[in-house]
Amino acid sequence: MGNPVKVFFLLLFILAYSYPAGSVEVSMYAGTRSNVVLMQNATVWTWGANDSGQLGVDHIKAAFVPQKVSGLEGIVQVAIYNHAVALDKHGDVWTWGANTWGELGRGDIRSGYFGNVPQKVKGVGGIKGIGIGNGFTLAIGSDGALWAWGKNSNGELGLGTTEEQPVPTKVEGIGKVRYIVGGDGYTLAVKDDGSLWAWGGNNRGQLGNKTTVSSLYPVEINTLKNIRKISSGGSHSMALLKNGTVWTWGDNSSGQLGDGKLIFRYKPEKVEGLPVIVDIAADEGHSHALDENGEVWAWGGNIFGELGIGNRNKSLRPKKIVGLRDVVQIHSGTSHCLALDRAGNVWSWGQNVYGQLGIKNIKSTSIPVKVEFPEKRF
């Protein structure tokens, strides 16, 4: 598999959350069918599908190994979906990739338009954190104010309408935002006081407000407090509390809530059978959790081996991934996952049709394999 990937990162527990501009603290992000990694030297690398220009590189439909993105300097945070977003040390936001709903924030909506060259977003600055969802982008100002743009058919921008917004627009009714995550048609936020807020589509209870009623505005979900981290799947949600417990709600058609059932749940409930958890990752139909000993747990759908447990059988309860140790960060894509270990190696598993595992081929796998970075990546 080649030499180990010595990717040195400064901090863990990242999932499109806010951190002070000027410090390189983001490591990796798994998107729909693509990935992005931020090195300690602030260089950005991508691989996987490139049909929307989301890799930020030209002339290829997909990359089976990581490629360096040009035109970016001083980057401190990155995220990717079918478009990509980056935050630099000056508080400026850069975007590239799909722009079907104006998610690039360039003032236009072009179906099928792919901006594969990173460009600075105008009209917003002094940003300390970014987030991304299916067709929309989120940004947190230095004052805790929230900005949003792009797709809004479910009210996921929190602006009180369902009209797309091709330019950054301030979200009223919420402030002092600490971090933010976007899902498929909905948004979750945590404020400085550890409270949980949600808005957008809610057909499967993913907002956690005890109903299936959607919301065009941010609403507080008062059943959870002292939140350390949140993660959004396709239509299910996860929260990690400061005491190391994991809570889930929303869609459960693949067992992604980890409660042993296949029934949707409209309010957060604790996932049993887990040790003390320090990181979480959710995506389409599956969930992962990282414990304090560096081991990873997985549950939910497993069609492509995205649970990493050596088979393709779904699991309604958490199962430990065997052979993956000393992990310090995890992240989930639609049907694949990434893990970073203490030695600086990046591991991947699950679907690989678009080369999203970064292993020089398109063979899917149900066990973790090492990502093949170029020898001279610095």
For the stretch 109-132, pLDDT in tens is: 876 667 889 999 999 999 999 999
As a whole-number percent, the residues of the chain with pLDDT over 70 amount to 91
The single-letter code of the amino acid at 239 is: A
- Give the DSSP H or E segment for 299: strand 296-300
Give pLDDT, residue 42. Answer: 86
Instruction: Compute the Cα dihedral for 97, 102, 103, 107 and give only its sign.
Output: positive
Average pLDDT over residues 225-237: 96
pLDDT band for position 378 (50/70/90)?
very low
Q: How many CA atoms lie within 13 A of 357 on its CB side?
A: 26
Structure tokens at 74: 């001083």
User: What tens digit of pLDDT does each residue of 118-171 get?
Assistant: 999 999 999 999 999 999 999 999 999 999 999 999 999 999 999 999 999 999
User: Of 24-38, 144-158, 176-190, 213-227, which gets the smallest average pLDDT?
Assistant: 24-38
Question: What span, in angstroms and rounded, lies between the C-alpha atoms of 13 and 107?
Answer: 33
What pLDDT is attached to residue 12?
Answer: 33
CA distance 210 to 191: 20
Neighbours of 370 (CB within 10 A): 18
Write the pLDDT tens digit of every residue in 40-90.
Answer: 788 999 999 999 999 999 878 999 999 999 999 999 999 999 999 999 999
Residue 156's pLDDT is what? 98
Neighbours of 306 (CB within 10 A): 27
Tell me whether strands 327-332 and 315-320 are parallel, antiparallel or unpaired. unpaired
User: Residue holding tokens 């139909």?
Assistant: 285
The whole-number pLDDT of residue 60 equals 87
> Mean per-residue pLDDT for 94-99?
96
Confidence of residue 344 (pLDDT cuts 50, 70, 90): confident
pLDDT at 59: 77
pLDDT of residue 26: 42
* Spatial separation of the C-alpha atoms in residues 92 and 230, rounded to whole Å: 24
Beta-ladder partners of 147: 139, 170
| Model confidence, pTM | 0.92
Q: Which residues contact 167 (CB under 8 A, 6 or more apart)?
A: 102, 105, 106, 107, 122, 123, 149
Q: H or E stretch including 186?
A: strand 186-191
Instruction: Please give the domain boundaries of the chain with CATH numbers for all domains.
Output: 28-370 (2.130.10.30)
Alpha carbons 193 and 256: distance in angstroms, whole number: 28
Structure tokens at 137: 């982008």
**49, burial (CB in 10 Å: exposed 0-12, middle 13-18, buried 19+):** buried
pLDDT in tens, 270-318: 999 999 999 999 999 999 999 999 999 999 999 999 999 999 999 999 9
Give the chain's end-to-end CA distance (angstroms, integer). 20
